[in-house]
């Protein structure tokens, strides 16, 4: 895109007009060359015209109400597409709001690029008090995979190329790209500008493990009496679905999916050990980690949660992740697809076998846990007031009728109980809080899922979690996205029946008629007090394909503080005691 001008001082019509461009158009052209289709952001000084030009060029710009939510959307876009999601923010406070999501994307290994306008260096560096003055590059560096600043319009193409490659290559993550306002407004020769742009070729090339590493892993699996495969969200991100399934099924090894890896194989697959998770971890003697890390979500690989004598095989694109918590007996450095293909190719027929005793042990525990859960679900179905499990099994039954629906889930009890209640049948159809366990990802993730895939989305939210990004319901309505939000409303953080010790509400108390929010923005609101009402409202909303919100009224006494991670709370003498 070019602007047309003439040399200064030339009378009209006396010289050929020169074709010029500026930093704003170069940013947009660089994004288009790199096949960026969607940008998420919040406009303001100095990037409003950048959003306008992007939209006019054919890039879809989705404008949010808060930069953190726009950033979470870009991160989710990265997870779903394997291409860096792009977030556009203003300077200083807007940049810092987006940085929360960028740091979360880095922690979760989602490729994302945050592009922010900024103040001029000669003012910032002398701390002269410019508008929204902040050294944004320095602020970003501790929280991201990489941070870059563009000082000249002719380097915009290079900066965007570097950001895209860095975000997607190796272990994916968040990249910050700082473009000062003066660079966005800088005018240069259009031909020179066009020559400065290029498309990134193969930003995340395949990385194959050595034959020695593969054979070491196979020998270890072959020696196992009780092998186990743990599938993490990295396995889902890799989009190596056929390789994952082929290796699991050809070896017969039981597998345990982490929450965002659910659906790589159907949750009701006969090799799934998800319902016998505790037993599987405590008894497994050789564990193959595929796109999963031994972080707090897996108890750091330590006893008593794990067998203290377990040996670990780890598949990871980053060698420095090995041995981060436990000794890795067989590191497999490479991308998930390449590693699993190599394992399949070099495993001899019958070399890996799983004993009937190990299969029967897990199957027996699975049956017992399924029966125990069935009893809880039956009781919850009839409970009045409605309980979390009553509402969630209604959601489960409706989603089984709509396998293309993407599920977004956050909260404490809303998250924990949904994980164990709602089964997944397809990969990358479940997005949740991930490694940091942050609240507030819900609406951003839901919007990205709808925009990037075109599929309907159901966001199951705790009422506390929904409060972090609930204003984005207006964004959902403005863009008429097929998102149904269910708020599991027990009137509190964790639960809503805590008594106050003063005239103020208790610290955990909440109260809202959430369905009225969406009505204010032109969406459809429902209020449900029974599982049947939840199911009826959800079916109607999905059939309409329009923005909707169902406020599910849950018993205030139903809920556990901190969900399943109450053990992380301090153990001192609390005010409640």
DSSP per-residue codes, 75-86: HHHHHHHSS-EE
Of the three residues 195, 221, 252, the one that is the final residue of a domain is 195
| CATH number assigned to the domain comprising residue 58 | 3.40.50.970
* Residues 145, 182 within the same domain: yes
Please report the DSSP string for 312-363 in residue order.
Answer: EEEEES-GGGTTSSS-EEEEEES-HHHHHHHHHHHSPTTSS---HHHHHHHH
| pLDDT 10s digits, 124-137 | 888 999 888 899 99
* 462: pLDDT strictly greater than 80: yes
User: How far is 234 from 335, CA to CA, in rounded Å?
Assistant: 9
Burial class of 369 by CB neighbour count within 10 A (0 to 12, 13 to 18, 19+): middle
| Domain contains 549 | yes
Mean pLDDT value across residues 510-530: 97
Instruction: Give the model's pLDDT for residue 7.
Output: 40
Q: Indicate whether 184 and 222 sit together in one domain.
A: no
Average pLDDT over residues 335-341: 97
- DSSP state for residue 483 in the 8-state scheme: E
pLDDT at 9: 46
57-61: average pLDDT: 98
The residue-averaged pLDDT of 268-288 equals 97
Distance of CA 556 to the CA centre of its chain: 29
- Same domain? 530 vs 445: yes
Claim to verify: residue 143 and residue 185 sit in the same structural domain? yes
**What would you report as the CA-atom Rg of the chain, rounded to the nearest whole angstrom?**
26
Position 332 in a domain: yes
Q: Could you give the percent of the chain with pLDDT greater than 70?
A: 95
CATH for 338: 3.40.50.1220
Q: Is residue 569 part of a domain?
A: no
**493-513 burial, b for 16+ CB within 10 Å, e for fewer?**
bbbbebeeeeeeeeebbbeee
191 plus 217 within the same structural domain: no
- What pLDDT, on a 0 to 100 scale, did the predictor assign at position 228? 98
Domain count, the chain: 3
C-beta separation of 486 from 550 below 8 A: yes
Q: What is the pLDDT of residues 361-387, one digit of tens each?
A: 999 999 999 999 999 999 999 999 999
Residue 571 has pLDDT above 90, yes or no: no
Do 448 and 419 share a structural domain?
Answer: yes
Stretch 301-305: mean pLDDT: 95
Residue 424 lies in a domain: yes
Q: What is the mean pLDDT of residues 238-257?
A: 97
Given this model, what pLDDT does residue 121 score? 87
One domain, residues 482 and 550: yes
**262: number of CA atoms within 13 Å, CB side?**
25
Average pLDDT over every residue of 305-315: 97
Q: Return the pLDDT at 572.
A: 62
Q: What is the pLDDT of residues 283-300, one digit of tens each?
A: 999 999 999 999 999 999
Whether residues 349 and 436 fall in one domain? no
Q: Does 236 reside within a domain?
A: yes
pLDDT in tens, 168-219: 999 999 999 999 999 999 999 999 999 999 999 999 999 999 999 999 999 9
> In the structure, what pLDDT confidence band is assigned to residue 5 with cuts at 50, 70 and 90?
very low
Nearest to 94 by CA among 141, 53, 140: 140
Looking at every residue in the chain, the average pLDDT score rounds to: 94
pLDDT of 576 reads 53
Residue 577 predicted with pLDDT over 90: no
Check whether residue 407 and residue 318 sit in a common domain. no
User: What pLDDT is stored for residue 387 in this prediction?
Assistant: 96
| C-beta of residue 274 within 8 angstroms of C-beta of residue 263 | no
**Percent of the chain beyond pLDDT 90?**
91
8: pLDDT strictly greater than 90: no
The last residue of a domain, from among 327, 362, 397: 362
User: What is d(CA 395, CA 430) in angstroms, rounded to the nearest whole number?
Assistant: 14
Listed residues 195, 223, 253: the one ending a domain: 195
Least confidently predicted of 27-36, 271-280, 542-551, 562-571? 562-571
Q: Report the b/e string of 166-188 with b at 16+ CB within 10 A.
A: bbbbbebbbbbbbbbbbbbebeb
Is 371 inside any structural domain?
Answer: no
Q: Give pLDDT, residue 133.
A: 87
- Whether residue 279 sits in one domain with residue 177: no
Mean pLDDT to the nearest integer, 31-42: 98
Q: Residue 317: inside a domain, yes or no?
A: yes
422 plus 357 within the same structural domain = no
- Structural domain harbouring 303: 211-362
Give the pLDDT score at 575.
Answer: 54
Q: Which residue in 89, 77, 113 sits closest to 450, CA to CA?
A: 77
Are 231 and 334 in a shared domain? yes
Q: Is residue 136 included in any domain, yes or no?
A: yes
């Amino acid at each position: 895109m070019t602007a047309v001008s003439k040399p200064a001082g030339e009378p009209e019509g006396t010289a050929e007009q020169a074709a010029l461009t500026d930093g704003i158009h170069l940013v947009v052209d660089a994004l288009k060359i790199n096949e960026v289709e969607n940008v998420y952001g919040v406009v303001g000084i100095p990037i409003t015209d950048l959003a306008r030009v992007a939209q006019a060029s054919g890039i879809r710009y989705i404008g949010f109400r808060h930069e953190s939510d726009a950033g979470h959307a870009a991160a989710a876009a990265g997870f779903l597409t394997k291409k860096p999601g792009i977030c556009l923010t203003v300077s200083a406070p807007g940049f810092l709001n987006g940085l929360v999501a960028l740091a979360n994307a880095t922690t979760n290994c989602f490729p994302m690029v945050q592009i922010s306008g900024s103040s001029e260096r000669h003012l910032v560096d002398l701390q002269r008090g410019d508008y929204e003055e902040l050294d944004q590059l320095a602020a970003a560096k501790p929280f991201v995979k990489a941070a870059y600043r563009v000082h000249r319009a002719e380097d915009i193409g290079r900066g965007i190329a570097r950001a895209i490659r860095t975000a997607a290559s190796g272990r994916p993550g968040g990249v910050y790209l700082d473009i000062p306002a003066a660079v966005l407004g800088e005018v240069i020769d259009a031909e020179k500008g066009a020559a400065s742009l290029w498309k990134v070729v193969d930003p995340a090339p395949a990385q194959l493990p050595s034959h020695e590493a593969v054979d070491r892993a196979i020998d270890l699996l072959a020696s196992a009496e009780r092998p186990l495969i743990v599938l993490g969200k990295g396995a889902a991100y890799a989009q190596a679905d056929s390789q994952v399934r082929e290796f699991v099924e050809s070896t017969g090894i039981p597998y345990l999916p982490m929450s965002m890896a659910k659906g790589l194989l159907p949750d009701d697959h006969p090799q799934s050990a998800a319902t016998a998770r505790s037993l599987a971890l405590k008894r497994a003697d050789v564990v193959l980690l595929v796109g999963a890390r031994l972080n707090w979500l897996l108890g750091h690989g330590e006893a008593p949660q794990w067998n203290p004598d377990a040996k670990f095989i780890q598949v990871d694109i980053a060698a420095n992740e090995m041995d981060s918590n436990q000794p890795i007996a067989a590191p497999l450095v490479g991308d998930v697809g390449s590693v699993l293909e190599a394992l399949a190719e070099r495993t001899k027929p019958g070399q890996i076998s799983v004993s009937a005793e190990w299969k029967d042990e897990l199957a027996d525990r699975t049956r017992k846990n399924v029966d125990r859960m069935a009893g809880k679900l039956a009781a919850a179905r009839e409970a009045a007031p409605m309980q979390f499990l009553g509402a969630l099994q209604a959601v489960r039954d409706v989603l089984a009728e709509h396998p293309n629906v993407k599920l977004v889930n956050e909260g404490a009890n809303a998250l924990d109980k949904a994980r164990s209640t709602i089964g997944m049948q397809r990969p990358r159809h479940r997005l949740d809080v991930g490694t940091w366990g942050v609240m507030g990802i819900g609406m951003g993730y839901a919007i990205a899922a709808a925009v990037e895939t075109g599929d309907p989305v159901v966001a199951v939210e705790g009422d506390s979690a929904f409060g972090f990004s609930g204003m984005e319901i207006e964004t959902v309505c403005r863009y008429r996205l097929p998102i149904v939000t269910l708020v599991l409303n027990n009137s509190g953080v964790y639960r809503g029946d805590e008594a106050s010790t003063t005239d103020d509400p208790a610290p955990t108390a909440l109260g809202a008629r959430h369905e009225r929010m969406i009505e204010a923005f032109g969406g459809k609101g429902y209020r449900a007090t029974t599982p049947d009402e939840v199911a009826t409202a959800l079916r109607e909303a999905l059939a309409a394909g329009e923005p909707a919100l169902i406020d599910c009224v849950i018993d205030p006494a139903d809920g556990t503080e901190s969900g399943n991670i109450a053990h992380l709370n301090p153990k001192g003498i609390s005010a409640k005691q």
